[in-house]
Amino acid sequence: MMVIMKPGHTQTEFDEVMRRIGEAGLEGHPIIGVERTVIGVVGLDRLHPELADDIEVMSGVESTVPISSPYKLCSREFKGDDTIVDINGVKVGEGTVSVIAGPCAVESEEQLMATARAMRERGASMLRGGAFKPRTSPYSFRGLEEDGLKLLAQARQETGLPVVTEVMSEATVQLVAKYADVMQIGARNAQNFFLLEEVAKARKPVLLKRGMSSSMQDWLLAAEYILAKGNRDVILCERGIRTFETATRNTMDINAVPLAKEMSHLPVIADPSHGTGKRRLVGPVALGMVAAGADGLILEVHPNPDHALSDGAQSLTFEDFSSLMARLAKVAQAVGKRMERAAVAA
Ligand code: PEP
Ligand code: MN
């Protein structure tokens, strides 16, 4: 439920309400707005029939309202206005299109630095690159691990681009958090609930991919795990789902973008690289996702895709990326958005 405080309530009245929520074994998550303070009350789904009535008569409280959806803190019912996630000055969800670009995996200093410079010059707002790679086969390249994270930090230092990288295990959350600006949860871990909670506690923005078999509700409940641990900086990412279709790597669910934005206040971006698996489809699908309301894109780009150690077939060349950015700017304008600027170089 939500507790709506009266305008002009006192700090003591607010503290009393929070204390009463805690006493019931639940957690209060306040949103302090300009005009209103609202407290989202979440916790175990036990019945607290008396709690809403008790709180409603407390001093400083205007009303209590149940949240009907199973996901609470990430719902539009709880927070009507869009959440903007600020990553070192890059604002995702502020009526802009943010482009996160870079290689699937960090492979070498030369590869990453060349890509980071090219992405910065061509207008990306953040750099991606996996240091811990979830690979279907244990015999595939699985990433440079901490050496890869160090290279990402070096690329950020030189270009000013914030870095986005995947965290795959609870054991490496602190390590990844030391280097990353945004912690990516991949599709395969999208419902790894202990990992979600551990990542939330690192207090860094989280990019949460949709699981390949996650329904919209599964996806939002995964986000809820992060919000419930007190981390509100979550970016949702549609990256295609598993269907009967085998002509493409995944089936990009364009419905998911406007629908997620209707169901949740969190920013929503799209990953047409994994969504299609095919370089020539990435551009058209990227444009479609932005036209449908995506707040940004995450794109795989490689200096030499044919020699990439992972996901070369879906990686753009620098030239492909430049031409896509020019077309994207037009679509962004058509839907009343502007391209998010790149971060200021360090
Ligand atoms: C990736 O971004 O490189 C990745 C592995 O993505 P996903 O988890 O969506 O497959
Ligand atoms: Mn990849």
Residue nearest to atom 10 of ligand 1 (CA): 187
**H or E stretch at 96:** strand 96-102
Name the band, by pLDDT with cuts 50, 70 and 90, for residue 35: confident
How far, rounded to the nearest angstrom, does the alpha carbon of residue 221 sit from its chain's CA centroid?
A: 14
Per-position b or e across 279-312, b if 16+ CB within 10 A of its CB:
bebbbebbbbbbebbbbbbbbbbbbebeebbbbb
> φ, ψ for residue 120 (rounded to 5)?
-65, -50
**H or E stretch at 339:** strand 338-339
> φ, ψ for residue 184 (rounded to 5)?
-90, 130
Residue nearest to atom 3 of ligand 1 (CA): 104
Report which bound ligand comes closest to the CA of 272.
Answer: 1
Distance 227 CA to ligand 2 centre (A): 26
CATH 3.20.20.70 spans which residues of the chain?
Answer: 85-339
Name the band, by pLDDT with cuts 50, 70 and 90, for residue 341: confident
- Tens digit of pLDDT for each residue in 70-81? 999 999 999 999
| CA end-to-end span of the chain | 44
Contacts of 114 (CB under 8 A, 6+ apart): 303
Distance 63 CA to ligand 1 centre (A): 43
- Tens digit of pLDDT for each residue in 99-116? 999 999 999 999 999 999
Most informative mutation of 144, 271, 298, 301 for ligand 1 (most atoms within 8 A of CB): 271
Sign, CA dihedral 251-255-257-260, equals negative
- Tens digit of pLDDT for each residue in 216-248? 999 999 999 999 999 999 999 999 999 999 999
- Tens digit of pLDDT for each residue in 269-301? 999 999 999 999 999 999 999 999 999 999 999
Please give the C-alpha separations between residue 192 and each of 62, 74, 187, 199, 333, in angstroms, as whole numbers: 38, 18, 10, 11, 38
Residue nearest to atom 9 of ligand 1 (CA): 187
The two counts, helices (H) then strands (E), for the chain are 11, 15
Distance 83 CA to ligand 1 centre (A): 24
Distance 20 CA to ligand 1 centre (A): 42
- Burial class, 255, CB count within 10 angstroms (exposed 0-12 / middle 13-18 / buried 19+): exposed
Name the band, by pLDDT with cuts 50, 70 and 90, for residue 48: confident
Ligand 1 is surrounded, with C-beta below 6 A, by 104, 130, 134, 186-188, 209, 239, 271, 274
Mean pLDDT (whole number) for 146-161: 98
CATH architecture under which domain 2-65 falls: 2-Layer Sandwich (3.30)
Report which bound ligand comes closest to the CA of 190.
Answer: 1
> φ, ψ for residue 325 (rounded to 5)?
-60, -40
Give the domain 85-339 fold.
TIM Barrel (3.20.20)
> Residue 149's closest CA among 133, 138, 136, 134?
133
Q: Name the amino acid, one letter, at 177.
A: A
- pLDDT at residue number 307: 97
Is residue 127 within 8 A of residue 150, CB to CB? The reply is: no
Q: Which atom of ligand 1 is nearest to the CA of 187?
A: 8
Distance CA(128)–CA(141), nearest Å, equals: 17
Q: Name the amino acid, one letter, at 1.
A: M
Distance 143 CA to ligand 2 centre (A): 11
Paired residues of 64 in beta bridges: 3
- pLDDT at residue number 266: 98
Mean pLDDT (whole number) for 307-336: 98
Instruction: Give the dihedral of Cα atoms 135, 138, 141, 147; nearest 10 deg.
Output: 90
Residue 345 pLDDT greater than 60, yes or no:
no
CATH 3.30.70.1140 spans which residues of the chain?
Answer: 2-65
- Tens digit of pLDDT for each residue in 176-214? 999 999 999 999 999 999 999 999 999 999 999 999 999
Mean pLDDT (whole number) for 63-74: 94
Residue 251 pLDDT greater than 50, yes or no:
yes
Is residue 343 within 8 A of residue 161, CB to CB? The reply is: yes
Name the band, by pLDDT with cuts 50, 70 and 90, for residue 346: very low
3 state DSSP class of 264: strand
Distance 274 CA to ligand 1 centre (A): 7
Tokens for 72, please give them: 């609470």
> φ, ψ for residue 279 (rounded to 5)?
-50, -45
